[in-house]
Amino acid sequence: MDDYPLLNIFWTMMWLFLWILWFFLLFRIFGDLFRDDSVGGWGKAGWAIFVILLPFLGVLVYLIARGKGMGEREMQMRADAERDFRSYVQKTAAEGGGGPARSHADELAKLAELKSSGAINEAEYEKAKAKVLA
C-alpha cells in the first residue's frame, strides 16, 4: 500500500461518490422532466439536449429554473399514490376483500355475540366454532 497512500484512497472514494451522486441527479432530472406534463415535447427535447451536451451547466440551470417545481411535483406524486392506496384499501375492505379469513372472523364474532347475549349456550358455541374453523 506504499504506492497508494491513505489520502489518495480518500480522494478516489470522494470522486467515486461524486460520480455516483451525479448519475443519481441526472436520473432524477430526466425522471422529473419526462413525468411533467406542463412541458411540451419540444421543451423536453430542448432540456434533454441541454443536459446531455452541457451536463454541468444544464443540470445547474435546470435545478435553478425548475427546482422548486421538482419538489412540488414529487410531493404531488406521493400524495396521489397515498390517496390511491387509501382508496384501494377502503374499497377492498368495503367489498369484504379479506376472503375466507374475513368471513370466518365475522362468523366467530357473531357467534361470540350470540353466546354473550345468551341465545346459545357454551356447548353450542364450541360446536359452531369448530364447524366454522374446520
Q: What is the pTM of this model?
A: 0.54
Q: What is the pLDDT of residue 99?
A: 54
Classify burial at 32, counting beta carbons within 10 Å of its beta carbon; exposed 0-12, middle 13-18, buried 19 or more: buried
Spatial distance between the Cα atoms of 87 and 93, rounded to a whole number of angstroms: 10
- Tell whether the model's pLDDT for residue 132 goes beyond 90: no
Would 106 be classed as within a structural domain?
yes
Predicted pLDDT at 50: 93
pLDDT digits (tens, 9 = 90+) for 42-95: 999 999 999 999 988 999 999 999 888 888 999 999 999 999 998 888 888 777
Mean pLDDT within 12-31: 93
Q: For residue 132, give every residue at least 6 positions away whose Cβ sits within 8 Å of its Cβ, in sequence order, or none.
A: 104, 107, 108, 111
Number of Cβ within a 10 Å radius of residue 114: 15
Which of the four pLDDT bands, split at 50, 70 and 90, describes residue 15?
Answer: very high
| Confidence band for 96, pLDDT divided at 50, 70 and 90 | low
- State the distance between the two ends of the chain, measured CA to CA, in whole angstroms: 69
Tally of residues, the chain: 134
Dihedral (CA of 120, 123, 127, 129) sign: positive
State the total domains in the chain.
Answer: 1
Enclosing domain of residue 116: 99-134
- In terms of Cβ atoms closer than 10 Å to its own Cβ (0-12, 13-18, 19+), residue 53 is exposed
Q: How sure is the predictor about 102, in pLDDT bands with cuts at 50, 70 and 90?
A: low
pLDDT at 113: 86
Question: According to the model, what pLDDT value does residue 82 have?
Answer: 92
- Range with lowest mean pLDDT among 17-26, 69-78, 114-123: 114-123
Q: Indicate the average pLDDT of the chain.
A: 86
